[in-house]
Amino acid sequence: MKKKTVANTIFSYLLIILIGMILIFPIVWMFCAAFKTNEEIFGSTGILPRAWTGEGFRVWLAENEGGGFWQYFGSLFHNFSESWLGTGRNSYAVFFWNSFKLVIPTVLLTLVSSTLVAYGFARFNFAGKKILFGILIGTLMLPNAVVIIPRYAMYAGWGWVDTYLPFHVPAALAAAPFFVYMLIQFMRGLPRDLDESAYIDGCSTFRTLVQILLPLMVPALFSAGLFQFMWTYNDYFNSLVFINSATKYTVSLGLRLSLDGESVVNWGKMMAASCIAVLPLIILFFAAQKYFVEGIATTGMKG
């Protein structure tokens, strides 16, 4: 009996490690490929790059185009000046800056608007609540593809195309029902007595929200913010539709531009760019793992 459980445990670990290696292999390979030349990337069965250790690595960094990219990215922090902001359309520093200009306000506006709307749904009893909630759930299933064409026509008429307004304004109007729903579910889990006693004490509804509920909602807001960050940052379709000029390109569009723009693609550089592109996600994930897991777990659960 005991032998069997030991064998079982070993087998389980082997299986877990094997699956994990298969799943993580593409990411590891992407990282390694960022240090390779085209010849090394293609036709080779090896994962680790040739020039990996010590001085060779440094030299390679300095000489290779991919290395140039890394240095360039480094300058983002040291040398935040116009000289490199204006170095042309293939500059990832610009793409990054654009991505953050697009994503950060979208995330913040989503959080503010979704909190207000969720508060309205979770803590008030009003005529038409059932219908409005039904509509909210319905829009959860409304595919983006159905609304994008009239939205585009509308935004084009208002001169919003090729700006980030098609991302910021919907965020301010809580047009992503997923987050409203997520926060409603979370607020329903908070004890009602708290805000009711605050109300009886003469606290306005808005102050109740800000002073009583908001501090308790921090984990949920964190989760919602992370997901909105992840989705907006990764988004390709909407960026492709609404943003035209290369100076306003986000990282996603920039990657696409590098892929299409060169006749002979330097794949090592492409992979370096991809690595850098996914880096903010990986950093966020490891910094805030708990919120990712909680966020996913609570949304699926109570529906």
Partner 1 sequence: MSSVSIPRRMKRRKYTRRDSQAYLYLAPWVIGFFLLQFYPFVMSLVYSFCNYQLGTTPVFNGLDNYVRLFTRDADFIRSLRATGIFTVAVVPGKLILSLAVAMFLNREMKGINLARTVYYIPSLFGGSVAVSVLWKILFQDNGIINAWINALGFQTVQFWGDPRYALGTICSLEIWQFGSSMVMFLAALKQVPRSLYEAASIDGAGAWSKFWHVTIPQISPIIFFNMIMQTIQALQNFTSSSVITNGGPLKSTYVLGLKLYKEAFTNFKMGYASAISWVMFLIIMVVTLLLFRFSSAWVSYDD
Task: For the segment 223-252, give every residue that binds partner 1 (CB under 8 A).
Answer: 230-231, 233-237, 240-241, 251-252
Which one of residues 48, 194, 282, 287 is an interface residue with partner 1 (CB under 8 A)?
282
Number of residues that bind partner 1 (CB under 8 A): 99
Question: CA–CA separation, 151 vs 140, rounded Å?
Answer: 17
**Residue 77 Cβ vs partner 1, minimum distance, rounded to whole Å:** 21
Nearer to partner 1, 85 or 282 (CB): 282
Nearer to partner 1, 85 or 135 (CB): 135
CA distances in angstroms from 116 to 133, 159, 162, 175, 208, listed in the order given = 14, 29, 29, 13, 12
Range 4-63, binding partner 1 (CB under 8 A): 9, 12-13, 15-16, 19-20, 23-24, 26-27, 29-30, 33, 41-45, 47
Pick the stretch among 83-91, 96-104, 165-173, 215-223 that binds partner 1 (CB under 8 A). 165-173
What residue spans of the chain are helical by DSSP H?
2-33, 38-41, 54-63, 65-78, 82-85, 92-123, 129-140, 144-158, 165-172, 177-188, 192-200, 205-207, 214-234, 237-242, 251-261, 267-287, 289-302
Which one of residues 129, 194, 218, 261 is an interface residue with partner 1 (CB under 8 A)?
129
130 forms part of the interface with partner 1 (CB under 8 A): yes
Which one of residues 7, 59, 154, 287 is an interface residue with partner 1 (CB under 8 A)?
154
Range 109-128, binding partner 1 (CB under 8 A): 113, 116-117, 119-121, 123-127
**Residue 87 Cβ vs partner 1, minimum distance, rounded to whole Å:** 22
Give the tokens for residue 8: 């079982």
Nearer to partner 1, 15 or 85 (CB): 15
Phi and psi, residue 253, nearest 5°: -70, -35
Question: CA–CA separation, 229 vs 181, rounded Å?
Answer: 17
Give the tokens for residue 138: 């319905």
